[in-house]
Amino acid sequence: MMKGVPYLVTVAILALVFSLASAYDPSPLQDFCVAINNTDSAVFVNGKFCKDPAYVTANDFFFPGLNIPGNTAANKLGSSVNLVNVDKLPGLNTLGISLARLDFAPYGLNPPHIHPRGTELLVVMEGTLLVGFVTSNPNKLFTKVLNKGDVFVFPIGLIHFQFNIGQTNVVAFAGLSSQNPGLITIANAVFGSNPPINTDVLAKAFQLDKNVVDYLQKQF
């Protein structure tokens, strides 16, 4: 009888590990958990404290202003992303979803990046975008030109980009499968980390002269 106990314990541990490994944002066990930043009358859930339901209002589920174009001139790449995640819309807490408005000046670029915690579903409202993502090794590129009304999905954790190939502005909206999908912009992370990655490491990894690496690090 005792010989079966270690087996049952092993199975239970494996089941727990697999259940944790397959989870992203937790599924809510209540109608909502409006996030707050202090501990008054609160319960800690998914990295956020929950507001007492008695004090929740409609404004906790409301965010205005996505009709306003982003300031693409403020970004040297000619793009602007207004992400509505749990930090801006407290009612998103535990609901596993967020939203972004993307604006592109002519030839504006949202550079290669990843969302470590969310899949992205993009719909173009105005203009023309060249979009694409790259798989894990052996790094196959999937790319498509999108026009008004077209939809494209970027799988979770994969490098992807959007580029305005037209001479007019582009407006797009993206839904993401996390209340806080995260963002890692590849060039910024590699060449703009703080403290910087060792020059010898980057020179060897990218097969570049160290002077080129020095130049690139100064750009970020």
| Residues of each annotated binding site | 110, 113, 115, 120, 160
Binding residues for Mn(2+), by number, are: 113, 115, 120, 160
CA distance linking residue 128 with residue 165, whole number of Å: 6
In the annotated binding site for oxalate, the residues are 110, 115, 120
3-class SS letters over 163-175: EECCCCCEEEEEE
Give residue 139's region: left, alpha or beta (phi > 0; psi -120 to 50).
Answer: left
Q: Does residue 181 have a cis bond before it (omega within 30 degrees)?
A: no
Rounded distance between C-alpha atoms, residue 87 and residue 159, angstroms: 24
Size of the chain in residues: 220
Quick one: tokens of 30? 């209540």
**Residue 37 and residue 31: Cα distance in Å, rounded?**
20
* CA nearest to 81, candidates 22, 198, 160, 21: 160
